[in-house]
Amino acid sequence: MPGWHVLRRHVRGSGARAAGFARARMLAAEAFEDRLIKELETIKGEDTAAMRLRIDTLKWLMARRAPARYGEKAEESDARPERPAVVRRVIIDPPDQPS
C-alpha cells in the first residue's frame, strides 16, 4: 500500500480522480454514520447513561446533517463576526518520505 503522500500526488494529478476520491470519502462517512446508528439501536433497557449517549449521538448527527435546523443556536448577546465571503484553504504537503 502506498503512503499518503503518494496517494495525494496521484489524486491531485487529475480532476476526475479528485472528484472520485471526494465521493468515496463522502460515502465512507455515510457508511460510518449508518454503522453508528445500528450500534445505537442495540441499546435497550433502563441503562440511563447508555440512553443518554444514544440521544446525544443522534442529536450530534442531526446537527451535522442539518445545522440550520438542528445546530446549536447562537444567543443574541453572542457578538460573533460575520463569516467571510470566501474561505481560502492552503494544504502544505510534507516532503516525500522514502517508502
Domain hosting 54: range is 33-67
DSSP, residue by residue, 10-64 = HHHT-HHHHHHHHHHHHHHHHHHHHHHHHHHHT--TT-HHHHHHHHHHHHHHHHH
Who has greater pLDDT, 91 or 10?
Answer: 10
Structural contact between residues 70 and 59, judged by C-beta atoms closer than 8 angstroms: yes
In a domain, 94, yes or no: no
Q: Is residue 25 part of a domain?
A: no
pTM of the model: 0.49
Q: In total, how many domains does the chain have?
A: 1
Mean per-residue pLDDT, 7-25: 85
- 88 or 10, which is more confident? 10
**pLDDT single digits (tens) 29-75:** 888 888 888 888 887 777 888 888 888 888 888 888 878 877 776 55
Q: Is residue 86 part of a domain?
A: no
